[in-house]
Amino acid sequence: MTIRRSPQDNVRVAAAWVVERTLASLSPTDSFLETVLARYDERDQGLLRELVFGTLRWLRRIDQVISDASSRRFEDIEEALQGPLRVAVYQLLFLDRVPAHAAVHEAVEQAHCLTHRGAASFVNAVLRRIARSPRLEDWPVREKDPMRRLAIEHSHPDLLVERWLERLGRDRTLEVLAANNRPKPLQLLAFRHRGGRELLAESLIDEGIEVEPSQLSPVGVTVRRGNPLTTEAFRRGDLYVQDEISQIAALLPAPRAGERILDAAAAPGGKSFALFAQQPGVRLTLADVSPARSFLLRSNLVRLSLDLPLLVADAGAPPWSSEATRFDRVVVDLPCSGTGTLRKNPELKWRISEREIGRMAEQGRRMLAGLAPHVAPGGLLVAITCSLELEENQEVVARFLDEHPEFSPLRLEDHLALPLAAGIEGPGSWRMLPGGDHDGFTVHVLKRSGGP
């Protein structure tokens, strides 16, 4: 879409632009959001994020309401009007603090700038109709198929809802759908060698940030109010932004002092940072195949004042000899569809496909096979995804075990206590679904035979 008004003009214009650019590309929402955020003060930045992520979360439901209010298929509405309409309807249906007249007026003004007068009149008529009935229950979904109706009501693609109903059951699927449509609080990783989360919390509270200990991670802090990225604690490198389940995933099982660990797909650094935060005595080596992502990882290492060896290397074909270099633990983030992180990456919902899931699974199998020789006898191979899909997790690991009989699942019951033990799903398999304050992750821990 060509913008005839600069995103600098108005927060709602910027939100519509970010939504449209995100949906038209394969890039993360943040790659577009960051280009406009700096133009606004902190209050407007918060509104901009709310409009963008809220609209993307509820996109399918919003489109259904617009279609009903306009008496035409959403796809038949002029493309230039779709972004302004979606952002305006999100405000009307989900944000009490935004006056309806402001949302309608701004969308009509955008339509005037983007296209012809008749289109602006259309936008005005549709939004005023919705403003007179500004509740979701005023716009019931009339789809007869129960699965599709559920998907529209909860604003998810049919593909995911059908999969989850079959594999999780109705009750757990409803819980995941509801969690995905709730905003997620910011969570931070605190480093024990810098005083741990108690000292970090005190520092943040002194700067007006409201925080509390994360419920599951022993090195996690959850932010309830304020922006910790503007604090002295952030500038000193006392914290790293990371979901608490992402922290936990890297710590299964808990690391030991002196343990030699390879983080095989390390960028932007979260797994290594969690391991080091929990146990500063580990001996870490970081590797990532992408030079650009490795540059980001190196920048994080500098900000956190961590001196850890970093290699630009393909985890599926490491550049060292497996006989000369073996590790007590190899940790790898497998490529995946990200279906456990939809609450903070809602754009992923609208890109998912069976083909993409299969492609990611194949990449995961290749990475595990390439890393297997670099696990020392008696050592661990830890496969992590932020996906809930069997093809990217259980099926990848099952095929790997068939082809590598020297590995077997680690008995996690011997290493985890409640509440984390509740995530054990089978031999060597752990999963936490999205819920509470956290994302969804899947972890498989495999042990190589031999060794002490």
216 and 73 co-located in one domain = no
Instruction: Report the pLDDT value the prediction gives residue 134, as an integer from 0 to 100.
Output: 93
When pLDDT is cut at 50, 70 and 90, the band that residue 8 belongs to is very low
When pLDDT is cut at 50, 70 and 90, the band that residue 2 belongs to is very low
**How high does pLDDT run on average in the chain?**
93
Query: Per the domain annotation, does 38 fall within a domain?
Result: yes
**Of residues 339, 336, 311, 310, the one with CA closest to residue 397:** 336
Section 198-220 average pLDDT: 96
Instruction: Report the pLDDT value the prediction gives residue 7, as an integer from 0 to 100.
Output: 44
Given a cut of 60, whether residue 1 has pLDDT beyond it is no
Kindly state the percentage of the chain with pLDDT values over 90.
85
315 and 396 co-located in one domain = yes
Range of the domain at 214: 187-241
- List, in order, residues 6 or more apart from 166 with CB less than 8 Å away: none
128 and 203 co-located in one domain = no
For 308-349, what is each residue's pLDDT tens digit?
A: 999 888 866 777 766 667 999 999 999 999 999 999 999 999
215 and 112 co-located in one domain = no
When pLDDT is cut at 50, 70 and 90, the band that residue 98 belongs to is confident
pTM over 0.85: yes
386 and 356 co-located in one domain = yes
Query: Per the domain annotation, does 395 fall within a domain?
Result: yes
Q: What CATH number should be reported for the domain holding residue 248? A: 3.40.50.150
Query: Per the domain annotation, does 174 fall within a domain?
Result: no
213 and 272 co-located in one domain = no
When pLDDT is cut at 50, 70 and 90, the band that residue 440 belongs to is very high
Task: Give the span between the Cα atoms of 427 and 446, in whole angstroms.
Answer: 9
Task: Give the span between the Cα atoms of 385 and 336, in whole angstroms.
Answer: 6
Query: Per the domain annotation, does 180 fall within a domain?
Result: no
DSSP string, 286-302: EEES-HHHHHHHHHHHH
Instruction: Report the pLDDT value the prediction gives residue 197, as an integer from 0 to 100.
Output: 94
232 and 250 co-located in one domain = no
Q: What CATH number should be reported for the domain holding residue 206? A: 3.30.70.1170
